Structure 1
Amino acid sequence: MDARYDHELARVWQLVAQLSEQLAINQNVTATLQSQVDALKAEAAEAGHNLRLRRFNTDISKETFESELERTSAQIIIENQTLLHENKQLASLLKEYETTVETIMNKFRNHAIAAQQHEHTLTRHYETLLASREQQSQSTDLTAHTNMARSFHRLSYHLRNLIQTLAGEDPDARPPHEEDLLSLVQKLESLPLPSSDWAVEREVEIARLNAENDMLRQALGI
């Protein structure tokens, strides 16, 4: 999905660059044509002035002078009309390019906003999933810790009974009270959530219990 967005953005930027380049070319052409129109107007004025001078400085008939003047004027008018028509076409084309560029930029902005909102939505979704999984993992660890504590409690009870029996004492007949276990569970649940060092602490506790078990075996000659 991101690759497709990047490809579309690259195409939009390429089109904008091409339109901007063509727009600059059209502006230069328009400026050139405008300067040519101004130059032709100046030439027309100068030609009329020269024709008036020629009328008085040369020996030509009135009909010839008027015919040449009409021909020159008609040619200048045609050239001016042609330039004005081309200028209008270029102005219309320039306006069309400006409208196209504005439309493309609006679409680009809308596309960028939509892509950003989509990215934020995905980010929030994955953050929610990660938080939910982390909470489930912590709950599972706490349950395992509670079950382990109960097992250790029962093991301690049976070991005490075994030691008392070997020592000639009466073993404790009553099993561990459920209230004691519930109290232990509540204490465990009231503890802060396990930190990153909880696994290390658990390994240390297991090692300590194994050492005590070995000592009991040695004392009992097992």
Structure 2
Amino acid sequence: MADAEEKARQEKIAAARKRVEEMKKRRNMQSGQSAKPEPQDAGPAPGDEAQDKPPSAVVDGPDGDASPSPTQSLAQQSKIRSTSFRAGSGSGPVSPAPFSPDGDTAPDIYRKHVARIEELEKENKRLAKEAADAERRWKKAEDALSDLREADGDNGQARGEPDKDERTEKLEDEIASLQRQNAQLQQQVSRGGHGHHRPSVSSASPSTELQAELEAKTATIESMEIEM
């Protein structure tokens, strides 16, 4: 395990040295290749310096330039993301997202609900007033109907009085007619009595029937007069 780690470390160092050499060559070519490269014994060799530092450290060149390793690049990216996240979270609260498809926020929705409640309360008051008015009109109509019924009853009684009078007159006429018929029959019986000792049954029977009918009519008239 230690050998594998050491091998990986040596490979990283070799790769770093190779990059440093390539960078030095490019800089020398850009400067017109007029300057000679520094001798190797003037300072510590890049390989020795790289051995003294961890593989993730930056390798300094002659001009102070650095070539970041892959491990360092990942660490810097992670640090940049963390810094950006902290900066975004500390910039202040994010405005709340709309709660409705129309883009209304919570205060707008609350105001709309309050306005709707007020409208419903006004509508309820109006309906209650209309119901009270309708109830008053209904009671008034009931009273008027009761008065009409009483008036119709009085009129019916008033109309019934002439009917009773007519019936009474009719009965009185019938009684008078029966009385006349009875008187005539009695006269006939009395005339026939001079020639006979007893009246015949045929002549006495109609007189009895007329007398009974006369008494019935008289009783009817008396009962009607009592009712009146």
Class of the TM-score when normalised by the shorter of the 2 chains:
0.3 to 0.5
For CA contacts below 8 A with separation 6 or more, give which structure has more relative contact order: 1
TM-score of the two chains, using structure 2 as the length reference: 0.40
TM-score of the two chains, using structure 1 as the length reference: 0.40
**Over alpha carbons, which structure has the higher Rg?**
2
